[in-house]
């Protein structure tokens, strides 16, 4: 019987590396994508050794059109599982941010997700099965949070995934948005975000985030929000008028900045 293959973007650290570990433990062969080839190779070697899977390393900067197209080609050849996880957030007031860095954020968080999903779906539809998990964020649920571009990019990913969830259902292909809250990874250090005053209660571990995501995917959910605290925040946000949620988030933000 042919073995199942998962392609994971942003597999060199954090949530993506944990998807690679948990999917390898379930016997899936892997294609690991990120920019840092040395880290991908080290992870691939670890997973081959521990789980006896094959692990292909595909270094690519997904902001770059030419490099991203190579990954699109690999997806068109067919995979069973795509995790669109690579992403980052610039931190600060929008007008103060470097517009080229904002451009890169949209290209990675939005454009790459759309193009890689498109490339992966046709062969999945032909086979009548497959799964796509798009890593979004609770930051996409409410406007007014620290970085407008990041929040909007994640709102896009969640809405895109929910629509595709319905479109793909008749084809036997599952599409789900994963919306984590604060998770211990390299994300905040890369963004230069000081998390020292964020309460412990809000922090999730990658193991729990990925375990919850795979459970929710198996249950056929369109959106996965790991952790009881974030589930509660999500419900409250949906119940509150959007204007109230926006103003509250804005006040919290101004309070945090002491403006």
Residue 10 touching ligand NAP (CB under 6 A): yes
Residue 109 phi/psi, 5° resolution? -75, -25
104 or 125: whose CB is closer to ligand NAP? 104
* Residue in 129, 154, 182, 258 annotated catalytic: 154
Tokens of 9: 């973007």
Name the H helices within 112-195. Answer: 112-127, 148-168, 187-191
Report the C-alpha gap between 186 and 174 in whole angstroms.
28
State both tokens at 43: 């992870």
Residues 109-138 within binding reach of ligand NAP (CB under 6 A)? 135, 137
Answer for which of 30, 86, 168, 210 binds ligand NAP (CB under 6 A) is 86
Nearest to 125 by CA among 164, 168, 165: 168
Please pick, from the candidates 7, 12, 151, 214, the single residue that binds ligand NAP as defined by CB under 6 A. Answer: 12
Choose the binding region for ligand NAP from 29-37, 92-100, 120-128, 163-171 (rule: CB under 6 A).
29-37
Nearer to ligand NAP, 170 or 199 (CB): 199
Q: Which residue, 10 or 130, has its beta carbon nearer to ligand NAP?
A: 10
Nearest distance in Å: CB 195, ligand NAP:
9
How many residues touch ligand NAP under the rule CB under 6 A: the total is: 29
User: Does 15 help bind ligand NAP (rule: CB under 6 A)?
Assistant: yes
Contact 224, 207 (CB under 8 A): no
Residue among 86, 90, 106 at smallest CA distance from 98: 90
13 belongs to the binding site for ligand NAP (CB under 6 A): yes
Site for ligand NAP in 230-249 (CB under 6 A): none
Own/partner long-range contacts of 234-243 (Cβ < 8 Å, ≥24 apart)? 234/138, 234/141, 234/179, 237/141, 237/142, 238/141, 242/142, 242/143
Active site residue 154: yes
Alpha carbons 30 and 95: distance in angstroms, whole number: 40
In order, the DSSP letters of 14-33 are: HHHHHHHHHHHHTT-EEEEE
> Is residue 225 near ligand NAP by the rule CB under 6 A?
no
**Does residue 227 belong to the site contacting ligand NAP (CB under 6 A)?**
no
Contact call for residue 88 and ligand NAP (CB under 6 A) = yes
Q: By CB under 6 A, is residue 190 in contact with ligand NAP? A: yes
Please give the backbone phi and psi of residue 72, each rounded to the nearest 5 degrees, phi first. Answer: -60, -45
Select the residue interacting with ligand NAP from 7, 30, 34, 225 (CB under 6 A).
34
Check residue 187 for interaction with ligand NAP (CB under 6 A).
yes
Residues annotated catalytic, as ranges: 150, 154
């Amino acid at each position: 019987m042919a073995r199942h293959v998962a392609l994971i973007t942003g597999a060199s650290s954090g949530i993506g590396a944990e998807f690679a570990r948990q999917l390898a433990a379930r016997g899936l062969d892997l294609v690991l994508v990120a920019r840092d080839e040395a880290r991908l190779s080290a992870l691939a070697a670890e997973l081959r050794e521990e789980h006896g899977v094959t692990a292909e390393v595909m270094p690519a900067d997904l902001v770059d059109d030419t490099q991203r197209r190579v990954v699109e080609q690999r997806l068109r050849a067919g995979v069973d599982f795509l995790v669109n996880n690579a992403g980052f957030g610039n931190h600060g007031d929008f007008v103060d941010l470097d517009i080229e860095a904002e451009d890169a954020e949209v290209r990675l968080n939005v454009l790459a997700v759309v193009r890689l999903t498109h490339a992966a779906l046709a062969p999945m539809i032909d086979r009548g099965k497959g799964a796509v998990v798009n890593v979004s964020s609770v930051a996409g649920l409410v406007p007014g949070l620290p970085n407008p571009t990041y929040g909007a990019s994640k709102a896009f990913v969640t809405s895109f995934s929910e629509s595709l969830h319905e479109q793909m259902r008749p084809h036997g292909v599952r599409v789900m948005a994963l919306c984590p809250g604060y998770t211990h990874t390299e994300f905040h250090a890369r963004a230069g975000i000081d998390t020292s005053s964020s309460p412990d209660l809000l922090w999730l571990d990658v193991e729990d985030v990925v375990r919850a995501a795979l459970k929710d995917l198996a249950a056929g959910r369109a959106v996965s929000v790991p952790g009881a605290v974030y589930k509660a925040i999500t419900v409250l946000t949906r119940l509150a008028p959007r204007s109230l949620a926006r103003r509250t988030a804005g006040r919290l933000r101004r309070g945090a900045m002491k403006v």
